């Protein structure tokens, strides 16, 4: 079969004649999906890590090269997710793709790992909200108003108790939003506006401020800032004296690859719009466009941020990764957003920036809890969890039981991460790559194991007779393999085989232990007269 363009073939037939039938909605715009992908990908956080920790912990990395390499290696996986979602829409992502293509046990193992680590990230983000969202916001206010009480509040938010309390409050509020259906609807409506505020507050405004403010002005504003906090005069000079700039290092390919753990924090999350489905299989462009453009936009923002902060405040940004700020009277090293607030010397702009950064964390948590609830629903429908889990409360019209489970797990995650702040630094990415690797394997097999579904999908092309989807999946497997290797090799990845072996073993254990768990559940359900194997078995359509 050949595909030819309109121009080559002359007048073409009308696409189709639609009947008057339900469900034929207009396709979700790719721009909508793009917003969602960007909102979930936490670009400001990734940029903050690259600017703060890149120079000190990855001295031989070229930040530009690292971002481009991460995009190139992760893009095939993102494209594969788009292809899968076009072929199997509205189906619960990796769980469905793997159970249907490979086998139920592998699908369960993949999804358990994904859900475990995504839930872990809920705790991470809740703690980040305290330390990277509220603490800097109150610190900026404390300096402007020269208020010791606000500084105390800032320190409390950044501390163990504060981050745990804030985290638990956010999880509780998110649960309330999910349980009160009306609240969720309002949240969904507000989400696009929230994206606008975080994009403006945490990206556009900081970039412009740092691009236009001179070094001299920044130094003056920084000195004022520290003075406002009760710190020492001429703080900038004192900081440089106490923590001299690292100086230039040579960049190597290996060094650049090892730093991929930082941009992967964004790129590894950027294709979650694929978890949404549509009534009719999506046209060729929609899901794909939203993902590719989200990757491009994220890459552009990261590169632009690196360029602006690198050119204007290179030495200072490097020092934020290792400098002794406490010595000059600043309780914690500022992230780039706080640096921009300081550079502006303007309280209104500082507040907008702070709100932008706070929204980065706040919007992520209920969204992620919703995502986890979808997996719990899928497990419940397949008989792996009690039917109660997918019950919808008739009064609140929401899955109270499922939200309850997620809330408890999220709260546990908040407490664990709050008590062990060292866990926040990118630990968990390794767990996600396990899922992406299994999806890649499923992607290679899909055109052969699900031949008719593949043939009926919009991405059923072949290159040299080999399914394009399988080729993309092979590239995805290679890309994820390289990224996984860097997560195991990089000293500061949080999952280094040499330095954090127990965490690596934890990641592996979660995947491996899911297999016997599956068989235990299967046996229990069998004793109750329910054969869960039937949930996955395809009836021969002959």
Query: What residues between 177 and 216 interact with another protein by CB under 8 A?
Result: 181, 185, 188-189, 191-192
Residue 391 makes contact with another protein by CB under 8 A:
yes
Between residue 33 and residue 52, which ones bind another protein under the rule CB under 8 A?
Answer: 33, 35-36
Nearer to another protein, 37 or 143 (CB): 37
Q: Which of 172, 280, 463, 478 binds another protein (CB under 8 A)?
A: 280
Residue 403 C-beta: closest distance to another protein, Å: 13
Does the footprint of another protein cover residue 390 (CB under 8 A)?
yes
Question: Distance between CA 83 and CA 443 in Å, rounded?
Answer: 9
Among residues 34, 81, 12, 29, which one has the least CA distance to residue 283? Answer: 29
Q: What secondary structure letter does DSSP report for 467? A: E
Q: Does 520 bind another protein (CB under 8 A)?
A: no
Q: Does 389 bind another protein (CB under 8 A)?
A: no
CA angle 267, 280, 286 (to 5 degrees): 35
- Does 502 bind another protein (CB under 8 A)? Our answer is no
Contact call for residue 527 and another protein (CB under 8 A): no
Closest CA to 130 of 181, 92, 167: 167
Least distance to another protein, CB of residue 405, Å: 17
With CB under 8 A, what is the number of residues at the site for another protein? 79
Site for another protein in 95-134 (CB under 8 A): 96, 100
Residue range at the interface with another protein (CB under 8 A); choices 6-14, 72-80, 147-155, 204-212: 6-14
CB of 270 to another protein, least distance (A): 13
Q: For another protein, give the closer residue by CB, 458 or 481.
A: 458
Question: Using the rule CB under 8 A, is 82 a contact of another protein?
Answer: no
The reply on whether position 422 binds another protein by CB under 8 A is no
Yes or no: say if 154 and 143 are a contact pair by the CB < 8 Å rule: no
Cβ contacts of residue 285 below 8 Å, gap of 6+? 30
Q: CB neighbours of 372 closer than 8 A, spacing ≥ 6? A: 115, 118, 119, 122, 406, 409
Of 104 and 431, which CB lies nearer to another protein in the complex structure?
Answer: 104
What would the two tokens of residue 7 be? 């121009």
Which of 56, 232, 285, 468 forms a contact with another protein (CB under 8 A)? 285
- SS3 for 52-78 is HHHHHHCCCCCHHHHHHHHHHHHHHHH
Determine the Cα–Cα distance for residues 101 and 256; give it in Å rounded to an integer. Answer: 35
Q: Residue 537, interface with another protein (CB under 8 A)? A: yes
Q: Looking at residues 346 to 385 of the shown chain, list those that interact with another protein (rule: CB under 8 A).
A: 381-383
Provide the residue count of the chain: 542
Partners of 463 in the β-ladder: 466
């Amino acid at each position: 079969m050949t595909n030819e363009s309109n121009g080559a073939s002359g007048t073409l037939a009308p696409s189709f004649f639609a009947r008057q039938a339900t469900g034929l909605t207009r396709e979700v715009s790719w721009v909508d999906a793009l917003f969602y992908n960007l909102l979930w990908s936490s670009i400001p956080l990734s940029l903050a890590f690259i600017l703060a920790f890149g120079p000190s912990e990855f001295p031989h990395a070229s930040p530009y090269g690292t971002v481009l390499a991460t995009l190139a290696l992760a893009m095939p996986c993102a494209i594969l997710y788009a292809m899968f979602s076009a072929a199997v829409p509205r189906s619960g992502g990796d769980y469905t793709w793997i159970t249907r293509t490979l086998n139920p046990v592998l699908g369960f193992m993949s999804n358990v790992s994904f859900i475990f680590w995504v839930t872990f990230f809920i705790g991470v983000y809740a703690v980040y909200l305290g330390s990277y969202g509220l603490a800097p916001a109150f610190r900026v206010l404390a300096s402007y108003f020269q208020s010791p009480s606000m500084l105390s509040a800032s320190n409390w938010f950044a501390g163990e108790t504060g981050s745990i309390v804030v985290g638990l409050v956010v999880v509780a509020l998110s649960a309330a939003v999910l349980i009160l259906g009306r609240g969720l609807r309002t949240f969904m409506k507000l989400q696009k506006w929230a994206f606008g505020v975080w994009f403006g507050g945490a990206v556009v405004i900081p970039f412009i401020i740092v691009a236009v403010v001179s070094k001299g002005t920044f130094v003056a504003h920084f000195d004022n800032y520290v003075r406002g906090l009760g710190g020492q005069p001429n703080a900038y000079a004192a900081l440089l004296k106490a923590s001299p700039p690292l100086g230039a290092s040579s960049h190597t390919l290996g060094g650049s690859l090892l730093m991929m753990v930082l941009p992967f924090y964004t790129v590894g999350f950027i294709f979650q719009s694929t978890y949404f489905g549509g009534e009719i299989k999506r046209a060729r462009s929609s899901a794909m466009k939203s993902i590719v453009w989200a990757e491009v936009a994220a890459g552009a923002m990261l590169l632009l941020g690196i360029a602006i902060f690198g050119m204007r405040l290179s030495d200072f940004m490097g020092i934020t990764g290792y400098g002794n700020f406490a010595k000059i009277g600043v309780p914690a090293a500022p992230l780039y957003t706080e640096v921009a607030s300081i550079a502006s010397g303007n309280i209104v702009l500082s507040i907008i920036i702070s709100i932008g950064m706070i929204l980065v964390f706040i919007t992520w948590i209920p969204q992620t809890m919703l995502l986890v609830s979808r997996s719990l629903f899928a497990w419940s429908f397949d008989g792996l969890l009690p039917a109660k889990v997918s019950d919808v409360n008739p009064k609140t019209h929401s899955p109270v039981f499922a939200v309850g489970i997620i809330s408890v797990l999220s709260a546990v995650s908040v407490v664990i991460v709050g008590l062990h702040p060292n866990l926040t630094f990118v630990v968990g990415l390794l767990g996600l790559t396990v899922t992406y690797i299994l999806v890649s394997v499923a992607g290679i097999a899909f055109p052969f194991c699900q031949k008719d579904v593949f043939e009926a999908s919009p991405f059923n092309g072949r290159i040299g007779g080999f399914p394009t989807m399988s080729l993309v999946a092979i590239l995805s497997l290679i890309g994820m393999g390289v990224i996984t290797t860097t997560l195991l090799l990089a000293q500061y990845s949080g999952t280094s085989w040499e330095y954090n072996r127990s965490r690596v073993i934890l990641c592996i254990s979660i995947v491996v232990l899911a297999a016997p768990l599956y068989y235990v559940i299967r046996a229990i359900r069998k004793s109750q007269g329910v054969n869960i194997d039937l949930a996955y078995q395809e009836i021969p359509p002959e």
